[in-house]
Amino acid sequence: MAGWEYSKFQNVPCAAEDCRHQGKGETMNRDANCIFCKIIDKKIPSKIVHEDDVAIAFEDVNPQAPVHLLIVPKKHMPEIHSITVADREIIGHLFFVARSIAAQKKLDHGYRMVINNGRDAGQTVFHVHLHLLSGRAFHWPPG
Ligand code: AMP
């Protein structure tokens, strides 16, 4: 992808200096049919804003706000009920990545973090991910 230097985001140990995740060096499992696994493996392009050994964050292809990023664990886990106790560090790490990106992008007026889990919640990609939305005011309750 022209204009995006993947290499500068690779091998970044962590999103935040005080996050003590333990994913370093792990081989994260992938699903060959999963679009986010393909993005993680750079088999399809994306606009990456952060990458470390546990997670990747990239721009949503169909943004619902001026800032709409997806924070995705490199380990393939289809839904929230797929996660195990062993995944606690990984799941917690997603929040540290969100916090780090929010600070870098100066999202001082607020941001919304969303996980759509399951069909009725509107999940369309079955690889757990955190939406990070900002740049406009959001309604509550959500639609
Ligand atoms: P969800 O509906 O919560 O499962 O969210 C999936 C999100 O992935 C949607 O907001 C899509 O716009 C987004 N998406 C799907 N394919 C891609 C892609 N190739 N690159 C970036 N975002 C994508």
Q: Is 129 a catalytic residue?
A: yes
| Residue 12 lies inside a defined structural domain of this protein | yes
Mean pLDDT score of the chain: 86
Q: 58: Cβ–Cβ under 8 A, 6 or more apart, which residues?
A: 39, 46, 47, 48, 49, 69, 70, 72
Q: Mutate which of 60, 71, 72 to test ligand 1's pocket (most atoms within 8 Å of Cβ)? A: 60
The enclosing domain of 122 has a CATH number of 3.30.428.10
Task: Give domain status of residue 77, yes or no.
Answer: yes
CA of 117 to the centre of ligand 1 (A): 13
Q: Which domain, by its residues, includes 48?
A: 6-134
| pLDDT given for residue 93 in this prediction | 94
Is 143 domain-assigned? no
* Cα(75)–Cα(83) distance, integer angstroms: 10
Ligand 1 proximal residues by C-beta, below 6 Å: 35, 46, 60-62, 70, 116, 122-125
User: How many separate domains does the chain show?
Assistant: 1
Token representation of residue 92: 């917690």
| pLDDT value at residue 19 | 55
For residue 35, tell me if it sits in a domain: yes
Q: Which of helix, strand or coil describes residue 77?
A: coil
Kindly report, residue by residue over 64-87, the tens digit of the pLDDT.
Answer: 999 999 999 999 999 999 999 989
Q: What is the pTM for the complete model shown?
A: 0.87
